[in-house]
Amino acid sequence: MDALAAGPETAAALGVRVGAMRVGLFVGLGVLIGCLVAVSGGIGFVGLIVPHAARMMVGSLHRRMLPIAALTGALFLLWVDVISRVAVRPQEIPIGVVTGVIGAPVFLVLMGRRRYAFGGRDA
Q: Which amino acid is at 7?
A: G
Q: Is residue 10 part of a domain?
A: yes
Q: How many domains does the chain have?
A: 1
Assigned domain for 33 exists: yes
Say if 122 falls within a structural domain: no
User: Using CA atoms, how far apart are residues 119 and 98, in angstroms rounded to an integer?
Assistant: 27
The reply to whether 120 falls in a domain is no
Render pLDDT for 40-61 as a digit per residue (tens, 0 to 9): 666 766 777 788 888 888 988 8
Distance CA 28, CA 34 (A): 10
Helix ranges (H only) for the chain are 2-5, 8-13, 18-40, 46-58, 62-86, 95-112
**Residue 43 counted as domain residue:** yes
Give residue 70's domain range.
2-112
Q: Is residue 119 domain-resident?
A: no
Is the residue at 54 inside a domain?
Answer: yes
Are 119 and 57 spatial neighbours (Cβ–Cβ below 8 Å)? yes
Report the pLDDT value the prediction gives residue 26, as an integer from 0 to 100: 82
Mean pLDDT confidence for 76-80: 90
For the chain, give the percent of residues with pLDDT over 70: 80
